[in-house]
Chains A and B, each alone.
Chain A
């Protein structure tokens, strides 16, 4: 449900520095205060990074997930707030333990739990059969359905069935996505971030968005361009994940939860966050009426985690990797490289031969695109350009690109900067006499470049250009942030579905490697064939077999 973040940006399992350093009571009572303070500080750091004090109730969640679950306080971003913070603080009070939040990427919440980074995982984690094989779940603490949002003027969409033939957005690897996939007949765009999905809906890139009801309440309802439509779809329950072996902790958490439900404290929290709903109402009624809470949920304790075998992996992973991921990666890379080569050559020629203001612009282009992160460039092109008008106060301005177009243009423009430098080096390496000879034959400067200089420079730069193509090929994985489903995105989906980061990772990496090989070979071949200097060698070899040239006569 809650969105997953781009891995490189947020280190996993890093505790957020809430002001919760445990400082012993007896501080300052002795002499040598600075030294003691230092020791205490180091010990505190140690306990913070390695293992918490026994009293702490450490739980993992992803504060990038957003409202209303967990989010940085808008007024003080170092503080994390959310209904789950309130929930866990309440449980902590019940258990007489201090609730300590540990930041962890949403995708990795269960692995982080199993690694012992924290003892509970709480972040809108839906109780599913799949997950129950990995961890135990508490009794549900919240229930809700999926909510459809559409543009305000849209009246033809009221249910799942109306989505046939439409473009529908949702969060990656969410229940909503599975519901949409089951329904079929529509184009599904999966997003890392709910904001982007609703923005695209408002912009008209999407015709509907399906997401967990609380997310919709916070991100769709406030948007005047959007409205809810139809009843809530299906139903899911969030549970607190506990390691299989921690049965005592599970029991304690269940008791605490039940107490909070009975006392109305949980109701108050949900009311405060405006996420109280019928589903949760029914859930609580049912939980309270059951005399022994949590019984049902303790029966799963024995199922040991089982990793798929390699045979199963090949059968499960290869079709999506090869049929969905690889072709898209290939398409984007080849198109982007074509853009990079054509545009880069243009930039290099302008830089070298155009009059001053233009040459300066070309130089600025290279420095700008080389010197800023590709990721930000992609975001600007895909999410920024449509809002250009809003940014400049001209509502009608704005360029809406499809994900593929944005990916190709973004990667292409970025790599064009590098190709421009390659070509510049290549062109400058051609001896002066070549240009002079061409000019003295009456050619214009442009004709000389096209017929004499550039063809030679192109051959010269085959190795560095190949290098860049291989790099671009792998860099194309970054376009998953603008809703492209390519090889790396498919890998991420597989890995999080099967909790198999290693197996799926090895396969995905192998596919990248094998797909890159032909291009390397092609470049080698072209280099050999086109290299003007090596023709002598080639001919000499051919002469052994009685064909080809005689050696130059003296």
Chain B
């Protein structure tokens, strides 16, 4: 087994408030890692640090062959280049979908491959059609985001991220903005990607999903990684008092 994600002593603070206090962990290829924890514990910040939407103050993140090492002290231009290379390896799905409202579902999905990878438009669209079929949106290709339900939008967002052929998919509370009845269709897609061997990191409040599907569960509290184990261990016999208190409210 080889670690595809390796996070080393990650620290980040907003002014005086520390958001992440030295977090280290690794993710193996094909694993689905769920990050759970109470609100404000730094889950989203951690995830956003993994693709450089937030810059951490010190520490090191390696995804595949790309390393962001703040201990080196990057120059700004090198940093931007490094961030772009990192983001090409990593797909990101947001809580609020963030689809581009002026483009159709098909255009949303085909845009980045054309712009970033300079893929031929025809080819990019052909691939987009396949991906959208995979997430069950074959009949919505020419729809605009505002014409879709939340679940459909999130599925389109997943297809859009997959179009860049990432090695890793990150999800920032992908179902939190959804009607409970629409949560299943999104989780279903993630389950299928897991079956296909995609490495995924999910910040979530869906404890059942974490328990049933995740290979590893990370528990964060107050910017610290307090527990990292298989779901069986976390959900049946958590070691940390804070984990127990948190899970009690959910289960």
Chain A interface (Cβ < 8 Å from any Cβ of B): 431, 433-434, 436-444, 447, 451-452, 455-456, 459, 530, 532-533, 535-536, 539, 549, 552-554
Chain A CB within 8 A of B53 CB: yes
Interface pair A442/B87, CB less than 8 Å apart: yes
Query: CA A539 – CA B90 in complex, angstroms?
Result: 35
> Residues of A contacting B111 with CB < 8 Å?
441, 451
- B96 in complex: contacting residue of A433, A536, A554, CB < 8 Å: A433
Query: CA A535 – CA B146 in complex, angstroms?
Result: 7
Query: CA A389 – CA B44 in complex, angstroms?
Result: 61
If A433-B94, A441-B87 touch, whether A456 touches B116 (CB-CB below 8 Å) is no
Interface pair A532/B53, CB less than 8 Å apart: no
Q: How many A-B residue pairs have CB under 8 A?
A: 80
> Residues of A contacting B90 with CB < 8 Å?
440
> Residues of A contacting B74 with CB < 8 Å?
none
Interface size class of B (residues with CB under 8 A): 35 or more
Q: How many whole Å from A523's CB to the nearest CB in chain B?
A: 17
Chain B interface (Cβ < 8 Å from any Cβ of A): 51, 53, 80, 84, 87-88, 90-92, 94, 96, 98-102, 111-112, 115-116, 143-149, 152, 157, 160-161, 164, 179, 181-182
A-B contact pairs, 24 of them (CB 8 A): A431-B98, A433-B94, A433-B96, A433-B98, A434-B98, A434-B100, A437-B99, A439-B53, A440-B90, A441-B112, A441-B161, A441-B164, A442-B116, A443-B112, A451-B111, A456-B100, A532-B101, A533-B101, A533-B146, A536-B147, A549-B143, A552-B152, A554-B181, A554-B182
- 16 more CB-based (< 8 A) A-B contacts, given A532-B101, A535-B147: A436-B98, A437-B98, A437-B157, A439-B53, A440-B87, A441-B92, A441-B164, A442-B116, A443-B116, A447-B116, A456-B100, A533-B146, A552-B148, A552-B152, A553-B152, A554-B149
If A536-B147, A554-B149 touch, whether A440 touches B101 (CB-CB below 8 Å) is no
Interface pair B164/A442, CB less than 8 Å apart: yes
Interface pair B100/A437, CB less than 8 Å apart: yes
Query: CA A434 – CA B97 in complex, angstroms?
Result: 9
Q: How many whole Å from A103's CB to the nearest CB in chain B?
A: 58
Interface pair B116/A441, CB less than 8 Å apart: yes
> Residues of A contacting B115 with CB < 8 Å?
443, 447, 451
**In the complex, residue of chain A having the shortest beta-carbon distance to the beta carbon of B115:** A447
Q: How many whole Å from B41's CB to the nearest CB in chain A?
A: 21
Interface pair A440/B51, CB less than 8 Å apart: yes
Task: Choose among A535, A539, A552 the residue with the greatest number of B CB atoms under 10 Å from its CB.
Answer: A552
Query: CA A245 – CA B144 in complex, angstroms?
Result: 77
If A436-B98, A440-B87, A440-B92 touch, whether A539 touches B147 (CB-CB below 8 Å) is yes
Interface pair B179/A554, CB less than 8 Å apart: yes
Q: How many whole Å from B210's CB to the nearest CB in chain A?
A: 23
Query: CA A388 – CA B210 in complex, angstroms?
Result: 73
